[in-house]
Chain A
Amino acid sequence: MTKRFGGLTAVGGVSLDVDEGDLLGIIGPNGAGKTTLFNVIAGYYRPESGRVVFEGRDLTGHPPHEICRLGLTRTFQIVKPFGNLSVRDNVMIGALTRVRSVAAARAEADRGVERCGLGDYADVVAKSLPIGLRKRLELARALATRPRLLLLDEVMAGLNPAELAAMVELIRRVHAEGVTLVVIEHIMAAIMRLTRRIVVLHHGEKIAEGVPAQIARDPKVVDAYLGEEFTLE
């Protein structure tokens, strides 16, 4: 698919296959087009060319809320909590997409909040959470919509080492429960530990694809990250 903004090609001719049960990582330097790719898949942008197909259905041009209802949910890199609502209500709003009854959705939200380690914060107003917990809330809320494919946009960025370990553990568990995952990450180390297959984007193009060990040695990837040593850690 291709997505342009005026003269700038944000994503150019990138093709991506995700099988059921995959845990695919997407990495790339800043401005590589990772988030744009998610925005196209989730229906926020319409691509100039190409299609998005999910479970045999063409999603191109569908609005975001329909895409979510079809089982494909995304999170936002810059987290978007419903700031003035409690953590529980945030997750419950996600659950209400699948459950009509408010009481049932609330019960489901309580389980989701617990599962994502937010149990102590269920009644706290979302805007007062620190960033690490906001990232978890973003995940909990998305999970409440019962996705079969979940797009995670840098849910590990900005976390301290302890939070990072907990997040990796949580993502593994979600994957083990049968949710197919596509994970965008800036931090190479985190994604190397987590995924089995990685796609590297640079300047809107796919420059490499393969297992983590292979990617780490790929000269094109090393080139792309040159001058951004801090991301290699």
Chain B
Amino acid sequence: MRRHAGAIVLFGLAAVAPLATRDAYFLDTIVLILMWGAISSAWNVAGGYAGQVSLGHAAFFGIGAYSAAVLTVHWSLSPWIGLGLGMALSVVAGLVIGYLSNRLRGPYFVLATIAFAQVLLIAASRWREMTMGSEGIPVPFKQGFWTLGLASKVSWLYLTLAFALVLYLVQVYLEVSRMGYQLAGVREDEDAAQALGIPGRRLKVIAIAMSAALTSAGGTFWAQYVGFVDPFYVFSIDLSVLFALNAIIGGAGTALGPFLGSILITSLEHYLRATLSDIAPGLIGVHLIIYGCLLIVMVRFVPQGLIGALGALFIRRARTARGERLART
């Protein structure tokens, strides 16, 4: 239970937040923290746990966003069906990308993932009959759970909280299960893992497909929440970077890391956007520069992310308290 203390506090606070305030801006921030945290967790399944760093996860996010929007607009089908379709399509796309990850390593794999998202962006902005092209699709609002037309921010908060919990549990599974340990072996050294009987290639592909499906689900929820799908946003490299950034800043390969990263980045973005645009309209992109600097500082000084920094702090304190010697080196 103690190892989940952080998550219990975090998700607990999110759950009771509506009791404290009904301020729409504040609740919106919490919904987005949970949403981006959950989607970064989905990225983390491939990027953190399997060590397959992708900068093209917006592809799966966009697939999820479009699947639901297109089915609703053209055939009046429930976004829940779109959610399922998006996840299925993303599994297929994930298998293709996963196959590539066995052919291409390191930077070449990253480039392939970026290219993949770009291809989908072009397809979505050109296939006008289906996607309404570069103008984007407004998602029709129909009140009700089945149509995901939730009028109140509070309902959205609990829905995204449930989604975030699922993602947290998926990651915990990847820490304590047989598959998780084997994946850790593949991440640490693929040749050694294979020598020990682990089907490294297959596991990587499975992890990427899982990651893709979960990211897609996040895309569907986001599109329904925001109510509009813009191809230049949902397939953008900015978004792919954001997913990776949250996880890396918080602590890649840890279950809580992506959520910690999301708390920092999402609230920072909300705050900076509001204040900077107040000062001068020209400052609106400055938050991106601040992200960049933050990433450099984190990677240089706290490579294990926030969770690593916090963990080291707690351990040091516990050690001095018990007067233990530091670990042998």
Contact = CB atoms under 8 A, between A and B. Distances in A.
Interface in B181-220: 181-182, 184-185, 188-189, 191-200
Contacts of A128: 327-329
Nearest to B198: A65
A44 B189 CA distance: 14
Interface in A35-82: 42, 44, 63-65, 68-69, 73-76, 80-82
A146 to B, nearest CB: 10
A82 B199 CA distance: 16
Given A82-B188, A85-B188, A94 B329 contact: no
Contacts of B196: 65, 68, 73, 93-94, 97, 141-142, 144-145
Contacts of A193: none
A164 interface: no
A81 B327 CA distance: 19
Nearest to A63: B194
B194 A76 contact: no
A82 B189 contact: yes
A49 to B, nearest CB: 24
Contacts of A93: 181-182, 184-185, 193, 196, 198
A89 B181 contact: yes
Contact of B191 (A80, A85, A125, A144): A80
B279 interface: no
B177 interface: yes
A139 interface: no
Interface residues of B, number: 22
Contacts of B188: 81-85
Contacts of B182: 93, 96
B198 A97 contact: yes
Nearest to B192: A80
Given A102-B176, A124-B328, A142 B185 contact: no
Contacts of B200: 65
Given A82-B188, A128-B327, A97 B197 contact: yes
A64 B191 CA distance: 9
Given A65-B200, A82-B184, A102-B177, A76 B328 contact: no
Contacts of A102: 176-178, 181
Interface residues of A, number: 35
Contacts of B193: 65, 82, 93
Contacts of B195: 42, 64-65, 68, 73-76, 80, 142
Given A128-B327, A128-B328, A82 B185 contact: yes
Contacts of A44: 191
A151 to B, nearest CB: 9
A217 interface: no
A81 B189 CA distance: 8
Interface string B23-53: 0000000000000000000000000000000
B194 A64 contact: yes
A92 interface: yes
B175 to A, nearest CB: 11
Contacts of B328: 121, 124, 128
Contacts of B191: 44, 64, 76, 80
Interface in B308-329: 327-329
Interface of B: 176-178, 181-182, 184-185, 188-189, 191-200, 327-329
30 contacts: A63-B194, A64-B191, A64-B195, A65-B193, A65-B198, A65-B199, A68-B194, A76-B192, A76-B195, A80-B189, A80-B195, A82-B185, A82-B188, A82-B189, A82-B193, A85-B185, A85-B188, A92-B181, A93-B196, A94-B196, A94-B197, A97-B197, A97-B198, A100-B178, A101-B178, A124-B327, A125-B327, A128-B329, A142-B195, A145-B196
Given A80-B191, A85-B185, A92-B181, 10 more contacts: A65-B194, A65-B199, A69-B197, A73-B195, A76-B195, A82-B193, A93-B193, A96-B178, A96-B182, A128-B327
Interface of A: 42, 44, 63-65, 68-69, 73-76, 80-85, 89, 92-94, 96-97, 100-102, 105, 121, 124-125, 128, 141-142, 144-145
> Which 10 A-B residue pairings sit nearest by Cβ, starting from the closest?
A97-B197, A82-B188, A68-B197, A80-B192, A64-B194, A93-B185, A80-B189, A94-B196, A65-B194, A69-B197
